[in-house]
Amino acid sequence: MSEMLQTVPGSVISLCIQWSSARDMILKSDERTGLSAALSKLTHLEKLHINLNVSEPASVLDDALPYLTSLKELRCSGGSYSARIFLCLPPRLETLYMCYCSKESYLLIDPAALLHASAAVRRVTSGQLALQNFHYAMEGDLTIEGEFAEECQSAGIDFFGWSFYRDRLRPSTDGIGFPSLFDV
């Protein structure tokens, strides 16, 4: 995949990567590094949708995002990032969508991810991040979600969590995950 991504012109402003991989697909370390490096060169990207349907974490976004300084919208699935993503979000990012699209990507999600997301809220409060909308379509602890929603509201971020999405999204064919969040 990284070889193909290297053929994308650096001037591209919108990119959707939908990888409907076979079950138990694993992105090897060199493939993950290559994908991160190829994404890092797309510095004019304003909109990125990335759905890596992998069975083991492949945190390609953690390394690529600091270079995507023009990025305003990011849609990503579980497994394409780690909890460190909230420290790596580019300063111009306005809208963030996070979801899981399959049973495999759901199993890769850190149940306490929203606790890490407070780093992004602090960056908004200090003027280091332009985040205005945060869509978190992942089932988790509703108490943590409620506390995080209050934190977002105080920082001027519109937060849409699991309590918002659970009845609104169309489930995947296996009944687990919500690929409709990636409908463009």
Q: Are 17 and 50 in contact (CB under 8 A)?
A: yes
Question: 45 to each of 49, 60, 67, how far by Cα in Å?
Answer: 11, 16, 10
Alpha-carbon distance 70 to 66, whole Å?
10
Q: Are 14 and 45 in contact (CB under 8 A)?
A: yes
Question: Could you give the residue ranges of the DSSP H alpha helices within 27-172?
Answer: 29-40, 60-64, 85-88, 103-106, 113-125, 142-155, 162-165
Which distant-in-sequence residues (6+ apart) come within 8 Å of 138 by Cβ? Answer: 78, 98, 99, 100, 106, 109, 113, 162
- CATH for 43: 3.80.10
Please count the structural domains in the chain.
Answer: 1
* Domain of 124, in residue numbers: 2-182
Q: pLDDT digits over 102-119, tens only?
A: 555 555 566 667 889 999
Mean pLDDT, residues 15-31: 75
Amino acid 163: pLDDT: 82
pLDDT band at 24; cut points 50, 70, 90 = low
| Reported pTM | 0.86
